[in-house]
Amino acid sequence: MKVMTKLLEFRGMARRFFQKYQLIIEPVFRFLIAYLAFHTINKSLAYNTAVANPVIELGLAAAGAFLPPVVLILMCGMLAILQVYSASPILAALVIVIFAVLYCFIARFSGKYGYAVVAIPVLFVFKIPYLVPLLLGMIATPMAVFPAVSGVIIYYVFQVIEEAAKRQDITSLDATLALYVDVVNNLFKHKEMFVAAGIFAAVILIMCLVRKLRFEFVFEVTIILGAIVNILGFLLADLKLDISVGTGTMILGTVFSTLLVFIAQFFRMVLDYMSVEHVQFEDDDYYYYVKAVPKIDVAMLQKNVTKFSELEEPEKETGEDEFDFTEGLLPEKPEDDEDDFEKELFAKDTE
């Protein structure tokens, strides 16, 4: 119980820190995503060494940190086209057509989840692309399927282009047309691309559906269910479609991604299912039955220290016997005229 309390206190501190420095943290996070995207493109398509410069990558990432996701995707596409152009201008023309179609598709449906398009190719390099669909399934709408699928397609387009750029026998129009046909055929024959896109879409849709249900620990169950769907989907593809997915790497990557999503959900929302309340109320048209699950938020204790000086003495309390009730009611007798007052009183008595 003490460990949970400490975790909740740390969560409260982290949330308050993020809210206080949100204007700084968000651009830094976007800068890291942009830099990893540009670095991955230059590493995968390393045909122009002048462009693959750390200074240029940092400059582009700094600009992408303050631009919308759609503009960042456009910058990544232009960098990829420039790299391919250095290897083959003919192949670059085909890449422009492919990215133009994908960009129109992305700009229409990605919205604020456009970072998924950039994140999936980067996370494929780190063997944890499963993090994106699991995270989108928890926070996004079903429309997040489109940026996730687009990210998968872009990753495999890079692979096909990298293989096609190695061909040096392009000397005629027929060879150029044959190259274009080979690139398109290889792209559509990539079973891994369709399998990954289909499984990621299924994970997002199932998680979006389950998390809307009304039962306890729904978010935790949703995350675990999404991980199970992801693992079973790739295992079935490995068995039925004869696709090598790297079972061990896939399972470890899914488990690690699931842990990261649990951590993100912990900082996003913690519910207290032990204090569930059922509320009933009505208006002119309906009678409502509401189930309210409170969020857990531990407030940090603030210690107030009061210092007492040794030189200060407490004030003496005044008792009732020391209080003069006639003070202010009777006229004060002047001290200087005390003798005259007694003489006058003696004269009246003698008369």
Q: For residue 294, what are the contacts with CB-CB under 8 A and spacing of at least 6?
A: 271, 272, 275, 276, 277
Query: What is the reported pLDDT for 234?
Result: 93
Instruction: List, for residues 194-207, the tens digit of each pLDDT value.
Output: 999 999 999 999 99
The pLDDT of residue 117 is above 80: yes
Q: For residue 206, what are the contacts with CB-CB under 8 A and spacing of at least 6?
A: 137, 225, 226, 229
Nearest CA-CA partner of 98 in 189, 188, 195, 192 = 188
Query: What is the reported pLDDT for 330?
Result: 47
Query: What is the reported pLDDT for 306?
Result: 61
The pLDDT of residue 318 is above 60: no
Beta bridge partners of 295: 271
Nearest CA-CA partner of 75 in 98, 103, 113 = 103
The pLDDT of residue 81 is above 60: yes
- Give phi and psi for 122, each to the nearest 5: -65, -45
